[in-house]
């Protein structure tokens, strides 16, 4: 009896590991049909494959530079399932990132994807922080043609350390990787996280927290 329970437990563990990423496709493709279906599923409902067409698998525009005239000096152009319906169930997406001189892609996480970043132009300082309790910063300066990987869920960032514009392409292991920008989430939540909580967490005065929250 004990061995039977052990076998069931092992099956449950391996099954949960196997299902811990985007669901695999059981057919050639599953073009998302979110506009015509009110059904809520983990992912997006497929449209009839006989109605699929080339534009379901197509996006145009990554040759265009994003507008970096903002507070952080960067712009992200995502190409995920929201832009290409044919990415549904395929477990991949891509993004173009533009950086003004000394601009940053601020510390953030992708809760559902690892990321592999390729520098197309310029020089970028990149890094990620390991999980508690080490919180170790792993960082490197990348040049044109260099590639760097950010493991799933870890806080990471990029900074243009050159005097000209920089461009990178990021490939991600999910059709919908999600993004949580740390400062926006902590200081710009709706409603606000209590200043008492944040003041104690960051070991600063509450007025400092109010000042940060006013910026987000």
Q: How many domains does the chain have?
A: 1
Range of 187's domain? 182-215
The tens digit of pLDDT for each residue in 164-183 reads 999 999 999 999 999 999 99
Mean pLDDT for all residues in the chain: 89
Residue 156 lies in a domain: no
Q: Which residue has the higher pLDDT, 34 or 166?
A: 166
Which residues participate in the annotated binding site for Mn(2+)?
108, 110, 115, 156
Residue 203 lies in a domain: yes
Which residues participate in the annotated binding site for oxalate?
105, 110, 115
Contacts of residues 69-75 at CB distance under 8 Å and 24 or more positions apart, as own/partner, are: 69/100, 72/103, 72/104, 72/105, 72/106, 73/99, 73/100, 73/101, 73/102, 73/103, 73/104, 73/160, 74/98, 74/99, 74/100, 74/103, 74/104, 74/105, 74/158, 74/160
Residue 25 lies in a domain: no
Residue 198 lies in a domain: yes
Give pLDDT, residue 183.
96
Give pLDDT, residue 7.
44
Which residues participate in the annotated binding site?
105, 108, 110, 115, 156
The tens digit of pLDDT for each residue in 51-91 reads 999 999 999 999 999 999 999 999 999 999 999 999 999 99
């Amino acid at each position: 009896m004990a061995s039977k329970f052990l076998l069931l437990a092992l099956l449950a563990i391996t099954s949960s590991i196997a299902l811990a990423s985007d669901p695999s496709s059981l057919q050639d493709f599953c073009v998302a049909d979110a506009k015509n279906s009110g059904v809520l599923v983990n992912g997006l409902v497929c449209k009839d494959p006989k109605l699929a067409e080339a534009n379901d698998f197509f996006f145009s525009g990554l040759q265009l530079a994003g507008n970096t005239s903002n507070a952080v000096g960067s712009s992200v152009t995502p190409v995920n399932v929201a832009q290409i319906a044919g990415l549904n169930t395929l477990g991949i997406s891509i993004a173009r990132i533009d950086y003004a001189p000394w601009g940053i892609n601020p510390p953030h996480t992708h809760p559902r994807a690892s990321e592999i970043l390729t520098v197309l132009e310029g020089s970028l300082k990149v890094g990620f922080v390991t999980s508690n309790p080490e919180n170790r910063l792993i960082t490197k300066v990348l040049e044109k043609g260099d590639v760097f990987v950010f493991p799933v869920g870890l806080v990471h960032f990029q900074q243009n350390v050159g005097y000209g514009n920089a461009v990178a392409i990021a490939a991600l292991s999910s059709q919908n990787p999600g993004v949580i920008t740390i400062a926006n989430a902590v200081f710009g939540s709706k409603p606000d996280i209590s200043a008492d909580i944040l003041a104690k967490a960051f070991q600063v005065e509450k007025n400092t927290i109010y000042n940060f929250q006013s910026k987000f």
